Structure 1
Amino acid sequence: MQQPSQRVKLTSLSSKGGCGCKIGPADLAQVLRELPPGVPNPDLLVGLDTNDDAGVYRLTDELALVQTVDFFTPIVDDPYAFGQIAAANALSDVYAMGGKPLTALNIVAFPIHKLDKSILADILRGAGDKVKEAGATLVGGHSIDDNEPKFGMAVTGTVHPGRIRTNAGAKPGDRLLLTKPIGVGILTTSIKKDQLSAEEIERVTRVMATLNKTAAETMERFGVNACTDVTGFGLLGHASEMAKGSGVGLTLYRPNVPVLPRVRELAEAGFVPGGTKNNFGHVRDGVEFAESIDTIGQWILCDAVTSGGLLIAVPEAEARALLAALREAGVEAEAIGEATADRPGTIRVLDERWTEFEGV
């Protein structure tokens, strides 16, 4: 992790708090309902209908564009790391759709007369290094002078029209794999309150800055039915979209869900972002929790994530091999649940350890 050019607590400059959260799912759904329907286009293969990670537009029978955009306020104080995280987060949507990033555009809002210009340079350098790591090309961007720093990217990728991974293809019997631990929102909120050690900040930063490139390339060899990345709506929010879009029920095993260290301790101390609680309010009617899972445990499963992992639905016959391949490639993957034919569109969270994948 690079050292910032100027010792500025970037997270303190954000009026929104430490998670860089999206507009809440309930508020966003209300806004989108007011929009007129778009003009039907047979080449728009993935649009707004399934709440997917990115849009997909067919150019030819062999080639489609994947397009996405994401930006947010600082969630760590190191500007280089912030740039890395923001870039990894934006690139993730292309990976979740089964695509390969092609080009990226910077989106910059920065108080250019209040903060040293070297801070912005470090943000852009961090982002540029992640774009290079992804094998994509930075082609430009747009900037404005703003009181609150914000950064992100618009990313274009490519995918074969027949190999698109959406969040709406899960089948009964599929196993669910998750490729990064959760708890990021609670930890980044804790960063703003000076509750984490340097080592803990480095750990959560490394998780957020890790591209989903390896996980996406690994799953290409398998018959994955559905995929989404876990970001601002939290694990249960994105799982709910998969359940509803696919018309399946999901069963998750809470002890199998990977959670970053100290997340529960910090949540109990009150460092839970508003976005996490909004996520919980949005999904709670569609989720049945085991009685032994308390409110803190429920909030953690809804925690608003920045640059999270992929939630992958893969047929049972291929699940063990995919999990093993992901781990062999260095991905922190875990099997956390399964898709069922009963109770479509809903989620059941059990408080028992799932032993099917022990020994993988």
Structure 2
Amino acid sequence: MTVTGTAAPGTPGRTPGEAVRLTRYARGGGCACKIPPGELEDLVAGQVPPPGTAPPGLLVGLEHGDDAAVAALPGGGAAVATADFFTPVVDDPYDWGRIAAANALSDVYAMGGTPLLAVNLLAWPRDRLPAELAREVLRGGRDTAAAAGCPVAGGHSVDDAEPKYGMAVTGVADPERLLRLDRGRAGLPLSLTKPLGLGVLNNRHKATGEVFPEAVAVMAALNRDAAAAALEAGCRCATDVTGFGLLGHLYKLARASGVSAVLHAAAVPFLAGAREAVRDGFVSGGTRRNLRWVAPHCDFGSAGEETRLLLADAQTSGGLLVAGEVPGAPVIGELVAPDGPALRVR
């Protein structure tokens, strides 16, 4: 969708007569604008209750940085709760809404749950961007949630200098069939359900305006079917690959499960144009911070800088990383007994 709107001339996303470019209003983009993983862990360290003191009924909390919180319900079953929002990752407002909703819903799927209800989270520079763009963002989120069978009922909005959008989502799950970070074990294969490269392609889009339809389709796709396939295959350990990159999320999984992980770089799928984007310098600061964070815990073998950056690429609405074999998804490595570095790239 191209919108010229009524944004004030001279603002970052528009000059007179030009279409509004939402990505020009954001310092970062998508999940690349997350607080770096090391800083985030330091930030929440004091919030984690000591072992054995978690509130009754809390099944998954802050201990390992899982994708959502899970609490037992009095009548049986479990509630899954999450919130996720970010700055524009694409210029098209409807696509941004679709992607942000798919990303928020993914946290519930990554826990093995089913989304039940969502509410919008919207920050909007109302004096700089036309309201019709905000309506398109909300429409995209509503349509994606509807495809997931999850009604959107209200939400919260603020006037902000930087546009942000996402959702708080509540879901339900079987407490005996959760997908958790700490349920990996040595000998399990690692499956990845979406290709990598979203971060560098989004960064190229922001810098040049070039549109990558395959990347948009991947980000807007729900992780519902992948989660269902993982549960059907008996898997109990998974996470979604978002702002901390494949290496960052794999490190968290291996650490929580008390195992090491071997990653076969040649088996990892990448989007068309991703390697070229790295070579041309479209690498976000978030990706470089991810790589610095995992480097002390990783044996990169013969993997060069380009491969390392792609494996650490900050994804937005990426796929599921599953400890187990998921039908239709490539196997990219395996979990092994803890010995030496937590991660090994081969």
Normalised to the residue count of structure 2, the TM-score between the two structures is 0.92
* Cα shift readout 1:135-171 (whole Å, capped 9, x = no counterpart): 1111110001111110010000001111111011111
Using the TM superposition, give the Cα deviation of residue 5 of structure 1 relative to its aligned residue in structure 2, in angstroms: 7.3
Please name the residue that 1:303 is paired with. 313
Report the more deviating stretch, 210-219 or 238-247: 210-219
User: Are 1:94 and 2:108 counterparts?
Assistant: yes
User: Is the contact made by 1:83 and 1:127 (CA closer than 8 Å) also made in structure 2?
Assistant: yes
Which amino acid in 2 is paired with 1:43? G
User: Are 1:11 and 2:23 counterparts?
Assistant: yes
User: Are 1:238 and 2:249 counterparts?
Assistant: yes
Please name the residue that 1:212 is paired with. 223
Which amino acid in 1 is paired with 2:323? A
How many residues matched?
331
Using the TM superposition, give the Cα deviation of residue 223 of structure 1 relative to its aligned residue in structure 2, in angstroms: 1.1
The verdict on how the C-alpha distance between 1:247 and 1:284 changes in structure 2, with shifts beyond 3 A counting, is: same
Unaligned residue ranges in structure 2 (runs of 5+)? 6-18
Report the more deviating stretch, 21-30 or 11-20: 11-20
Which amino acid in 2 is paired with 1:100? T
User: Are 1:338 and 2:334 counterparts?
Assistant: yes
Matches within 5 A, 1:110-125: 110-125=124-139
Please name the residue that 1:330 is paired with. none
Which amino acid in 1 is paired with 2:276? E
CA distance in 2, matches of 1:134, 1:259: 26
User: Are 1:79 and 2:89 counterparts?
Assistant: no
The verdict on how the C-alpha distance between 1:224 and 1:344 changes in structure 2, with shifts beyond 3 A counting, is: farther
Where 2:182 maps in the other structure, the secondary structure is coil
Q: CA RMSD in A?
A: 1.7
User: Are 1:23 and 2:35 counterparts?
Assistant: yes
CA distance in 1, matches of 2:182, 2:4: 44
Please name the residue that 1:69 is paired with. 83
User: Is the contact made by 2:297 and 2:341 (CA closer than 8 Å) also made in structure 1?
Assistant: yes
User: Are 1:181 and 2:195 counterparts?
Assistant: yes
Which amino acid in 1 is paired with 2:41? A
CA distance in 2, matches of 1:225, 1:35: 26
* Cα shift readout 1:319-344 (whole Å, capped 9, x = no counterpart): 3xx32xxx3xxxxx211011111427
The verdict on how the C-alpha distance between 1:4 and 1:127 changes in structure 2, with shifts beyond 3 A counting, is: farther
Match for residue 322 of structure 2 among 309, 312, 315: 312
The verdict on how the C-alpha distance between 1:5 and 1:279 changes in structure 2, with shifts beyond 3 A counting, is: same
Using the TM superposition, give the Cα deviation of residue 18 of structure 1 relative to its aligned residue in structure 2, in angstroms: 6.5
CA distance in 2, matches of 1:296, 1:31: 30
User: Are 1:191 and 2:210 counterparts?
Assistant: no
Where 1:98 maps in the other structure, the secondary structure is coil
User: Is the contact made by 1:227 and 1:311 (CA closer than 8 Å) also made in structure 2?
Assistant: yes
User: Is the contact made by 1:53 and 1:97 (CA closer than 8 Å) also made in structure 2?
Assistant: yes
CA distance in 2, matches of 1:343, 1:177: 21
Which amino acid in 1 is paired with 2:321? L
User: Is the contact made by 1:61 and 1:161 (CA closer than 8 Å) also made in structure 2?
Assistant: no
Identity score, percent: 44
